[in-house]
Structure 1
């Protein structure tokens, strides 16, 4: 883990890769041997890749989160009958918050590393082939012989409303602080890092304390969202849906005005810009000063499972390309609408949002 002093040295090197240890010492008011000691530690941590002050490549995004096989049913009848069979369409496809975000990012032309855990089972092989197909780098992911790949099973109404979901995601407990520490040089060599709350709470805390680049959180599940607050959040951005936001704030979001109020409350909790999306309404942005709202005028209710991850990818793309929130929110809405039009977790047409 880099100290505050070492972060200062890294910042100076980024601005002037040819700076000497003597110049660093003079600017920082410390001795040259002191600088040498810090440089040695930075090399050991992988934050500098050699004595020539070569910094790791920053032209990639790192996503840390879940991959799982989604097995879902969509009812074709209006009323749900308990304890009997209900007519519908059953589908299975590779998914997971981390995987979906990563695929959307590569579709937008952003080189992406996905740090995740998966099993040596049939679903794990499906995931590896899927990553290859979508050019997602999984060199930093870990495959386990004795654990199953995560599975998420759920049932939606005709309009896309979730009735029930059941998951077996115990493999994500393997994404520990030690697991992440081994990958720290690549993580801190990213343009930005995105994680979801499928991670254990102590791993999220580790990210807060060790990631030196912009950190974006994607809230996942009312049962897991509070992991964000196991310690004081150190975020650059939070993306969250209306259900999770209502749980945290205790406010039911029924209109755009309430959505803005909830976004402001969330901002106070995380001290970072908030992107709040509500399927029945739209997207709200708040950063402590500016507030923007864009409605979902034509969100289709076939399968809304991938909408959130498309929004994350869109706002990450906007952040990297320095697109202001008032324009980024339009891109995010377009990404959500495109994704809602397919039964897949991702849209093959998401690249249209940047044309």
Structure 2
């Protein structure tokens, strides 16, 4: 029976059988001789077999996208006073769409490989330790010297409505086609690939041209979501919120019929199943075969909407892996969003209860 540390090593090896002992040591924060000792025990126990670490083929999803430290304020008063101090709560927690999707998938019991970049700073160490603890495989991610891990600052009203956000995510410019090229065999061996629009437009174009595994895109922000629409789109599915969808299609969304028009236009543009989620309503799924609307339950006690889109993306991926029908998929996707809204966390601890 492997120890907890040996299980962590096994999880990393499953996603990258050619990972070096030096890389394992760096990811786990232990010495190389320490890794060698664990490897020796795993070989003796028959759990791996020598160089190349022969292991059974495992189902896994690759997520490509951002990790950042979220700094957010929640104004407690009903009335927001501009240009002044407002009483409220200030919180600090790990976030980033890519990281949140990966964490959600692991909560659902899916082996997940996260490809991202992060800084050689305190927040980078927090992310690395959290990934190891959650058993997110980051052997294909890279910690960059002299760079700062992404930060995202935002302010919400008490009901979860976003007032404003500011992101400092310049580090994501390093997720280039060249960066991903050496990782392509592992990406294409995935059962699914999920990426977010925080990565550069040229990298998205490269993914469309070179990835053969089914791909799911998660739109992020009105400034970056348009990067997803290119002349070589190669997507299975697109998850996008109402604000981003309205921007891309120039279709205003005031009601469900407007949402249907927007989803239809998005489908025409991307030729992919559209998962359009809308504040104060819920989810609309649209493809050439299906149209399914699923509202949120009434009287949700919203604490924070950050992480809702990532949770929904995680359940889209889970539903596809498990070949769920559209009704069951819609129910799970919306419930994941609700569970995330009902907590201040970017990843709900209750997601795993959805699949019991």
User: Which TM-score band applies after superposition, normalised by the shorter structure?
Assistant: 0.7 to 0.9
Other-structure match for 1:350: 351
How much does 1:212 deviate? 0.4
Summarize the Cα distance change of 1:300–1:252 in structure 2 as closer, same or farther, 3 Å threshold.
farther
Native 8 Å contact 2:209 2:232 kept in 1: no
Native 8 Å contact 1:294 1:333 kept in 2: yes
Native 8 Å contact 1:72 1:154 kept in 2: yes
1:113 and 2:113 aligned: yes
Native 8 Å contact 1:111 1:136 kept in 2: yes
Other-structure match for 2:173: 173
What residue ranges of structure 1 are gaps of 5+ in the alignment?
Answer: 1-53
1:25-104 pair list within 5 angstroms:
57=57, 59-104=59-104
Return the alpha-carbon distance in structure 2 between the equivalents of residues 254 and 55 of structure 1: 52
How much does 1:232 deviate? 2.8
1:261-297 deviation per Cα after TM superposition (whole angstroms, max 9, x unaligned): 1111100000010000012101000111210000011
Return the alpha-carbon distance in structure 1 between the equivalents of residues 355 and 91 of structure 2: 30
Paired residue secondary structure (1:293): strand
How much does 1:55 deviate? 12
Question: What TM-score, normalized by structure 1, do the two folds share?
Answer: 0.83
Other-structure match for 2:324: 323
Return the alpha-carbon distance in structure 1 between the equivalents of residues 184 and 301 of structure 2: 40
1:35-86 deviation per Cα after TM superposition (whole angstroms, max 9, x unaligned): xxxxxxxxxxxxxxxxxxx999451100000000000000001112122111
How much does 1:331 deviate? 0.5
322-331 or 291-300: which moved more? Answer: 291-300
Paired residue secondary structure (2:222): coil
Summarize the Cα distance change of 1:265–1:55 in structure 2 as closer, same or farther, 3 Å threshold.
farther
1:61-116 deviation per Cα after TM superposition (whole angstroms, max 9, x unaligned): 00000000000000001112122111110000001000000000001000000000
Native 8 Å contact 1:58 1:191 kept in 2: no
Question: What TM-score, normalized by structure 2, do the two folds share?
Answer: 0.83
What residue ranges of structure 2 are gaps of 5+ in the alignment?
Answer: 1-53
4+ long deviations beyond 4 Å? none
Other-structure match for 1:234: 234
Other-structure match for 1:303: 304
Native 8 Å contact 1:294 1:330 kept in 2: yes
Native 8 Å contact 1:64 1:98 kept in 2: yes
Q: Which structure would you say has the larger Rg?
A: 1
250-259 or 319-328: which moved more? Answer: 250-259
